């Protein structure tokens, strides 16, 4: 009836062989379950899972940091998926109640691919997982080829402006930056270092990178740049003066498939020369676009299931190009 | 002369009026730090008091009056000499027994939480019974009695915060009386009262001492009221006992002027009690001009 | 003149106990997982008899596994904090005193944060180190707060406030520099959290609670007198230094206990004693048991609201007590009883 596995946090978990009811405690896990085609078996999700709009109709169990144990229990799950964002107290409490919890905790982009495979194995969707991972890996490899020989751009990733918080070298985001052909100018062991503007001046990044859920909206990007240009301190920074501010999808924060889109988006902004101009085909009903020439492969299986483009920026480009 | 140690509880003791409070060459010293010499020394002081007697402790500020009172209450232990209440030094009595024999009437302190008068007076019964105790009927009777004796029975249900200064003084006294003490110690009880209140308090003290056979020791600044109502006076100056005895013996001009470092005059009134007279500036000038007119000056 | 009798105290305790029972049943019945009153009662009854088979497993899980432990912990913490608050108000002769004013919760918080930093995934180390931090703070503040060999109220209060500030500064320093570790648990700890079961059995904790409250209760007559003045109490026969020591140790232990298992839940220790005074008078012989039960009711109610108002999102119970407590405090201030 169950088999024992060791999850990514090192805990032993008795996973049922037949998983019919899944609860996801973090937004990225919700995304992954949808990507693996398991959404019909997904009985409850955490709050903030709105990156997948279809998940809005699912019952919620509360915030990832502090979910309602009762709601989780009430959903009668066969397995609960947890991520690094969840507290270990929640995981312990569920374990004590006899509910299996599988935790994933990738620290790198490729680690995330492993996590997708692990989750696929746990929920009985190994075949779909293999396909999704292969597809994502292919995109990453293509990106790597395109960026070979291109020196990485020196960037500062801004998590929060005031106080100014960036990312440390061991974080997930730092790895994603590297895949996008960028290198964080900050080298520190702290995960979320708080630095001063002076430090930014000293480090001289070429680019400032922000994450936003309106990343594809050209108007909001322009507004962000205008705000920065009017803020004392920020307006003096060379990247702000020269307009070298990149805004990418906030999917970069989540270890989920859409991360790859965000990486690609950033790579195109930082190193436009490495990418042949996009040749757009039609935008389908779901506003997706395939860009075969850009070396980005898009799986048509997802068309129509994700009503929002995973990387709206691509779509905007296609419209702008008009080709 | 009755034997000084005759206890008032025996039949013989009751017939006589033995000395209840005995202070013989008692002294005490304060030092701020252990290694230095004492900053302040009190004594040696000698006086005694029987039942129904009131002793007044007089002196300028910082002359040791409160220290003497705390010696009598047992809070301090005399460094030399002896202090005995019915034959036992108060400092050697366990706390509860001490509270059953000695009641110290304080100046009022601020109460933090609302308290009714009867609750406050009932607290005087604390020394009797165990630590965590609940008051019984006898306690209530005694507390009511105490309030009546100070003329405050009508204030039973009022809140302490709603009382006037004089009323509160009476209630504080009632709580001390509820302790059924043998020795009453009062520290400047008339400080915040007007002249009418002062006289009333003194009269009441006198009456209480008579009826309940208390011995009372009162620290006060009221020279004339003390002379009028008290049986004996102890006069202190900078910790030294200048004199102790009947008012007429203690109220001598030289002694008073030495104790208070100001010009004073003493007269005797019709009942034989001394009166202290204050000389104003105009009087002083007139006196210098005409020394014979001293006797005709008005007194306070 | 109606003096306080043990009978009257018992009557008040029974009435309050009844209110607590109602609140417990109500709390068992509401929650994100729907379960009717009848089902709750049936589950309780069957569970008490031992007929587990007749109880649907989810029901049993929710009622016994989730809600009941939470409610029991709430009762423990509410009683501990309220009695501690009432005691400190008497000891420090200050109506604004609460269980945390002497820095015990800051010491516990420091212990908790060090536990999170050094032993990240160990289950009970956070509670153990929080309690250790509390104990060390109790001893330190005691030695700082003495004057002439005994506890002096004003010195104690100053020592406690300064210690609390100092420890808070250290905690803030650690929270910013240790950000590589997982310190999110700290935020919830600081706001109060009844969901983590205590490392030691709840029954044992209740025994400690009763012993500490009992020890403080034996001094309740003394406290009544001390509140009219320490000198006055001394001359009425109260052993003031001894009473102060017993109350200090007892109340600090209660605070340390509560804070170790549930973080710092605010306003309960400050306000419940005042509310109980308004209802039943300032006599500590009735105030202490009334505060204990009243505090239990308050925390269980606050926790119930915290987990149902915006279900399934769970608010921290400390946020609830603050949201309700602050208006109550303002009301009391205006009535000039606080």
* pLDDT of residue B13 exceeding 60: no
Give the pLDDT confidence of C155-212 residue by residue, as tens digits: 999 999 999 999 999 998 888 777 655 666 677 777 888 877 787 888 999 999 999 9
CB contact under 8 A, B123 and C237: no
Give A191's contacts in chain C (Cβ within 8 Å): 179-180
Q: How confident is the model at residue A194 (pLDDT cuts 50, 70, 90)?
A: confident
* pLDDT of residue A313 exceeding 60: no
Mark whether B and C touch (3+ CB pairs within 8 Å): yes
State whether residue B127 sits within 8 Å of chain C by CB: yes
CB pairs under 8 A between B and C: 85
Q: What is the pLDDT of residue A312?
A: 42
Is residue C134 a contact partner of residue C256, using CB atoms and an 8 Å limit? yes
Q: Containing H/E element for A28?
A: helix A27-35
Q: In chain A, count H helices and then E strands.
A: 11, 10
Name the residue among C219, C221, C337 with its Cβ closest to that of B126.
C221
Q: In degrees rounded to 5, what are phi and psi of residue C111? A: -60, -40
Name the residue among C176, C179, C313 with its Cβ closest to that of A62.
C313
Against chain C, the chains showing at least 3 CB pairs within 8 Å are A, B
Q: What is the pLDDT of residue C9?
A: 95
Q: What is the distance in angstroms between the Cα of C311 and the nearest Cα belonging to chain A?
A: 7
More confident: C194 or A21:
A21
* pLDDT of residue A279 exceeding 50: no
* pLDDT of residue C17 exceeding 70: yes
Q: What is the distance in angstroms between the Cα of A44 and the nearest Cα belonging to chain C?
A: 11
Give the pLDDT confidence of C261-282 residue by residue, as tens digits: 998 898 999 999 999 998 999 9
Distance (Å, rounded) from C-alpha B5 to C-alpha B266?
36
Give A87's contacts in chain C (Cβ within 8 Å): 184-185, 188
CB contact under 8 A, B127 and C236: yes
Which residue from B minimizes the CA distance to C215?
B132
Give A98's contacts in chain C (Cβ within 8 Å): 61
- Spatial strand order in the sheet of B215-219: B102-105, B183-187, B215-219, B54-59, B232-237, B240-245
Return the residue in C230, C235, C240 with the most chain B beta carbons within 10 A, the one to mutate for interface testing: C235
Is residue C160 a contact partner of residue C153, using CB atoms and an 8 Å limit? no
Name the residue among B96, B106, B136 with its Cβ closest to that of C231.
B106
More confident: A206 or A309:
A206
Which residue from C minimizes the CA distance to B117?
C1
Give the pLDDT confidence of B195-208 residue by residue, as tens digits: 998 999 999 999 99
Which residue from C minimizes the CA distance to B72?
C235
Is residue C308 a contact partner of residue C248, using CB atoms and an 8 Å limit? no
Give A192's contacts in chain C (Cβ within 8 Å): 179
CB contact under 8 A, A93 and C316: no
Report chain A's mean pLDDT, rounded to a whole number.
Answer: 80
More confident: C248 or A169:
C248
CB contact under 8 A, C235 and B103: yes
Q: What is the pLDDT of residue A21?
A: 93
Q: How confident is the model at residue C236 (pLDDT cuts 50, 70, 90)?
A: very high
What is the average per-residue pLDDT within B187-194?
88
CB contact under 8 A, A66 and C188: yes
pLDDT above 70: percentage of residues in chain C: 88
CB contact under 8 A, C228 and B134: no
Q: What is the distance in angstroms between the Cα of A111 and the nearest Cα belonging to chain C?
A: 20
CB contact under 8 A, C312 and A68: yes
Q: Containing H/E element for A15?
A: strand A12-16
Structure tokens belonging to residue A86: 């969840």
CB contact under 8 A, B134 and C3: yes
CB contact under 8 A, C221 and B99: no
Give A74's contacts in chain C (Cβ within 8 Å): 32-34, 58, 62
More confident: A153 or C176:
A153
Give C34's contacts in chain A (Cβ within 8 Å): 74
Q: What is the distance in angstroms between the Cα of A62 and the nearest Cα belonging to chain C?
A: 4
* pLDDT of residue A295 exceeding 60: no
Which CATH architecture is the domain C6-334 placed in?
A: Orthogonal Bundle (1.10)
Against chain A, the chains showing at least 3 CB pairs within 8 Å are C
Q: What is the distance in angstroms between the Cα of C56 and the nearest Cα belonging to chain A?
A: 12
What is the average per-residue pLDDT within A248-275?
84
Q: What is the pLDDT of residue B39?
A: 76
Give C89's contacts in chain B (Cβ within 8 Å): 112
Q: What is the distance in angstroms between the Cα of B198 and the nearest Cα belonging to chain C?
A: 22
Name residue, tokens 């009777």.
B141
Give the pLDDT confidence of C105-118 residue by residue, as tens digits: 899 999 988 988 88
CB contact under 8 A, A97 and C66: yes
What is the average per-residue pLDDT within B177-183?
94
* pLDDT of residue A145 exceeding 70: yes
Which residue from B minimizes the CA distance to C93?
B112
Q: What is the pLDDT of residue C77?
A: 96
Return the residue in C312, C315, C320 with the most chain A beta carbons within 10 A, the one to mutate for interface testing: C312
Q: What is the pLDDT of residue C80?
A: 97
Q: Report the DSSP pairing between strands A12-16 and A245-249.
A: unpaired
Name residue, tokens 């889109």.
A261
Which CATH architecture is the domain A2-123 placed in?
A: 3-Layer(aba) Sandwich (3.40)
Q: How confident is the model at residue B187 (pLDDT cuts 50, 70, 90)?
A: very high
Q: How confident is the model at residue C149 (pLDDT cuts 50, 70, 90)?
A: confident
CB contact under 8 A, B156 and C3: no
* pLDDT of residue C295 exceeding 90: yes
Q: Taking Cα atoms as reference points, which of B111, B178, B92 lies closest to residue B141?
A: B178
Which CATH architecture is the domain A150-273 placed in?
A: 3-Layer(aba) Sandwich (3.40)
Q: What is the pLDDT of residue C32?
A: 63
pLDDT above 70: percentage of residues in chain B: 90
**CA C66 remoteness from chain centre:** 20
Give the pLDDT confidence of B118-172 residue by residue, as tens digits: 999 999 999 998 888 888 889 999 999 999 999 999 999 999 989 988 888 899 9
Give A73's contacts in chain C (Cβ within 8 Å): 33, 58, 61-62, 65-66
CB contact under 8 A, B124 and C337: no
Report chain C's mean pLDDT, rounded to a whole number.
Answer: 87
Give the pLDDT confidence of B103-117 residue by residue, as tens digits: 999 877 778 888 999
CB contact under 8 A, C61 and A73: yes
pLDDT above 70: percentage of residues in chain A: 84
Q: How confident is the model at residue A293 (pLDDT cuts 50, 70, 90)?
A: very low
Give the pLDDT confidence of A49-80 residue by residue, as tens digits: 777 888 888 999 988 888 888 888 888 899 99
Give B156's contacts in chain C (Cβ within 8 Å): 1
Give C58's contacts in chain A (Cβ within 8 Å): 73-74, 76
Domain with CATH 3.40.50.1980 in chain A: 2-123, 150-273
CB contact under 8 A, C313 and A63: yes
CB contact under 8 A, A70 and C31: yes
Angstrom CA distances, C46 to A96, A126, C22, C53, stand at 22, 43, 19, 9
CB contact under 8 A, C4 and B135: yes
Q: Count CB atoms within 10 A of the CB of residue C279.
A: 13
Distance (Å, rounded) from C-alpha C270 to C-alpha C266?
8
* pLDDT of residue C21 exceeding 80: yes
What is the average per-residue pLDDT within C51-64?
63
Q: What is the pLDDT of residue A150?
A: 86
What is the average per-residue pLDDT within C49-66?
65
Is residue C62 a contact partner of residue A73, using CB atoms and an 8 Å limit? yes
Q: To 10 degrees, what angle do helices C37-49 and C6-29 make?
A: 110
Q: Taking Cα atoms as reference points, which of B43, B48, B45 lies closest to residue B21?
A: B48
Q: Residues with Cβ < 8 Å from A155, sequence gap 6 or more?
A: A177, A182, A183, A184, A185, A205, A206, A207, A208, A209, A246, A270
Q: What is the pLDDT of residue C129?
A: 92
Angstrom CA distances, A38 to A52, A61, A129, A259, B69, stand at 13, 18, 11, 19, 89
Give the pLDDT confidence of A86-133 residue by residue, as tens digits: 888 888 888 888 899 999 988 889 999 999 999 999 998 999 999 999
DSSP string for residues in C58-125: HHHIIIIIIIHHHHHHHHHHHHHHHHHHHHHHHHTT-TT--TTTTSHHHHHHHHHHHHHHHSTT-SSH
Is residue A278 a contact partner of residue A291, using CB atoms and an 8 Å limit? yes
Is residue A257 a contact partner of residue A112, using CB atoms and an 8 Å limit? no
> Coil, strand, or helix at residue B41?
strand
Give B131's contacts in chain C (Cβ within 8 Å): 218-219, 221-222
Return the residue in B31, B71, B119 with the most chain C beta carbons within 10 A, the one to mutate for interface testing: B119
Q: List the alpha helices (DSSP H) in A157-217.
A: 172-179, 197-203
Q: What is the distance in angstroms between the Cα of B261 and the nearest Cα belonging to chain C?
A: 32
CB contact under 8 A, A93 and C123: no
pTM for the predicted model, two decimal places: 0.81
Q: Domain ranges in chain C?
A: 6-334
CB contact under 8 A, C220 and B126: no
Q: Taking Cα atoms as reference points, which of B99, B117, B86, B120 lies closest to residue B179?
A: B99
State whether residue B119 sits within 8 Å of chain C by CB: yes
pLDDT above 90: percentage of residues in chain C: 55
Name the residue among A65, A71, A194 with its Cβ closest to that of C312.
A71
Structure tokens belonging to residue A159: 């998590």
Q: What is the distance in angstroms between the Cα of A42 and the nearest Cα belonging to chain C?
A: 17
CB contact under 8 A, A66 and C313: yes
* pLDDT of residue B273 exceeding 60: yes
């Amino acid at each position: 009836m169950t088999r024992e596995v060791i999850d990514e946090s090192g805990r032993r978990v008795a996973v049922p062989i037949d998983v019919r009811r899944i609860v996801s405690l973090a937004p990225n896990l919700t995304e992954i379950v949808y990507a693996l085609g398991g959404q019909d078996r997904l009985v409850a999700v955490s709050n903030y899972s709105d990156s997948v709009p279809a998940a809005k109709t699912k019952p919620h169990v509360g915030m990832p940091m502090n979910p309602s144990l009762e709601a989780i229990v009430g959903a009668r799950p066969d397995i609960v998926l947890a991520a690094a964002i969840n507290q270990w107290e929640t995981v312990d409490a569920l374990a004590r109640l006899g509910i299996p919890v599988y935790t994933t905790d990738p620290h790198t982009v490729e680690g995330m691919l492993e996590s997708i495979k692990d989750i696929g194995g746990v929920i009985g969707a190994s075949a779909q997982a293999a396909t999704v991972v292969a597809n994502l890996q292919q995109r990453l490899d293509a990106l790597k080829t395109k960026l070979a020989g291109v020196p990485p751009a020196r960037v500062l990733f801004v998590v929060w402006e005031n106080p100014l918080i960036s990312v440390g070298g061991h974080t997930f985001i730092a790895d994603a930056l590297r895949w996008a052909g960028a290198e964080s100018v900050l080298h520190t062991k702290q995960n979320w270092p708080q630095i001063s503007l002076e430090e930014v001046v000293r480090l001289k990044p070429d680019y400032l990178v922000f994450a936003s859920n309106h990343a594809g909206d050209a108007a909001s990007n322009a507004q962000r740049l205008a705000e920065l240009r009017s803020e004392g301190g920020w307006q003096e920074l060379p990247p702000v003066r020269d307009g070298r501010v990149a805004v990418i999808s906030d999917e970069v924060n989540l270890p989920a498939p859409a991360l790859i889109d965000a990486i690609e988006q950033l790579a195109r902004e930082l190193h436009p020369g490495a990418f042949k101009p996009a040749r757009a085909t039609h935008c389908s009903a779901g506003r997706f676009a395939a860009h075969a020439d850009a070396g980005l492969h898009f799986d048509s299986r997802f068309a129509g299931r994700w009503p929002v483009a995973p990387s709206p920026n691509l779509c905007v480009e296609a419209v702008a190009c008009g080709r | 002369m009755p034997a000084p140690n005759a206890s008032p509880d025996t039949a013989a003791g009751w017939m006589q009026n033995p000395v209840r409070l005995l202070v013989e060459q008692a002294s005490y010293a304060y030092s701020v730090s252990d290694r230095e010499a004492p900053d302040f020394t009190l004594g040696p002081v000698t006086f005694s008091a029987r039942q129904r007697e009131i002793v007044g402790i007089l002196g300028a500020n910082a002359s040791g009056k409160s220290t003497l009172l705390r010696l009598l209450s047992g809070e301090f232990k005399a460094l030399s000499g002896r202090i005995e209440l019915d034959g036992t030094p108060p400092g050697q009595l366990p706390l509860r027994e001490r509270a059953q024999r000695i009641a110290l009437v304080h100046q009022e302190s601020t109460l933090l939480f609302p308290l009714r008068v009867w609750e406050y007076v009932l607290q005087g019964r604390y020394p009797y019974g165990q630590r965590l105790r609940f008051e019984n009927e006898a306690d209530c009777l005694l507390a009511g009695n105490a309030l009546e004796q100070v003329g405050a029975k009508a204030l039973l249900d009022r809140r302490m915060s709603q009382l006037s200064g004089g009323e509160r003084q009476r209630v504080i006294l009632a709580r001390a009386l509820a302790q059924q003490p043998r020795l009453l110690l009062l520290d400047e009880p008339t400080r915040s009262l007007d002249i009418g209140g002062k006289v009333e308090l003194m009269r009441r003290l006198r009456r209480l001492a008579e009826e309940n056979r208390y011995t009372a020791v009162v620290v006060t600044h009221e020279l004339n009221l003390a002379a009028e109502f008290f049986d004996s006076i102890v006069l202190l100056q900078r910790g030294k006992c200048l004199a102790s005895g009947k008012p007429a013996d203690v109220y001598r001009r030289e002694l008073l002027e030495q104790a208070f470092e100001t010009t004073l005059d003493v007269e005797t009134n019709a009942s034989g009690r001394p009166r202290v007279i204050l000389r104003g500036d105009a009087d002083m000038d007139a006196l210098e001009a005409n020394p014979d007119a001293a006797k005709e000056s008005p007194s306070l | 003149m109606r003096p306080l009798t043990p009978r009257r105290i018992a009557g008040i305790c029974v009435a309050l106990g009844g209110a607590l029972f109602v609140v417990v049943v109500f709390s068992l019945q509401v929650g994100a997982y729907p379960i009717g009153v009848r089902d709750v009662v049936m589950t309780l009854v069957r569970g008490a008899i031992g007929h587990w088979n007749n109880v649907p497993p989810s029901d049993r899980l929710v009622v016994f596994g989730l809600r009941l432990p939470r409610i029991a912990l709430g009762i423990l913490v509410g009683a501990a904090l309220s009695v501690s608050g009432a005691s400190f108000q008497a000891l420090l002769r200050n109506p604004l005193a609460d269980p945390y004013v002497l820095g015990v919760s800051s010491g516990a918080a420091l212990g908790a944060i060090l536990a999170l930093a050094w032993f990240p995934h160990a289950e009970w180390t956070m509670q153990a180190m929080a309690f250790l931090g509390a104990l060390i703070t109790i001893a330190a503040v005691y030695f700082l707060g003495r004057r002439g060999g005994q506890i002096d109220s004003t010195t104690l209060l100053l020592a406690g406030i300064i210690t609390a500030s100092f420890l808070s500064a250290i905690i803030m320093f650690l929270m910013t520099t240790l950000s590589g570790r997982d310190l999110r648990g700290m935020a919830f700890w600081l706001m109060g959290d009844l969901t983590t079961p205590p490392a030691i059995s709840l029954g044992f904790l209740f025994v400690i609670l009763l012993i500490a409250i009992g020890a403080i209760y034996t001094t309740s007559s003394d406290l009544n007198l001390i509140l009219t003045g320490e000198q006055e109490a001394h001359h009425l026969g109260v052993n003031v230094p001894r009473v102060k020591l017993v109350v200090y140790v007892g109340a600090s232990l209660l605070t340390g206990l509560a804070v170790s298992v549930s973080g710092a839940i605010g306003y309960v220790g400050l306000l419940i004693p005042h509310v109980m005074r308004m209802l039943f008078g300032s006599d500590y012989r009735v105030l202490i048991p009334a505060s204990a039960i009243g505090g239990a009711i308050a925390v269980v109610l606050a926790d119930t609201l915290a987990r149902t108002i915006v279900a399934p999102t769970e608010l921290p119970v400390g946020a609830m007590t603050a949201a309700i407590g602050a208006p109550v405090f303002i009301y009391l201030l205006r009535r000039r009883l606080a």
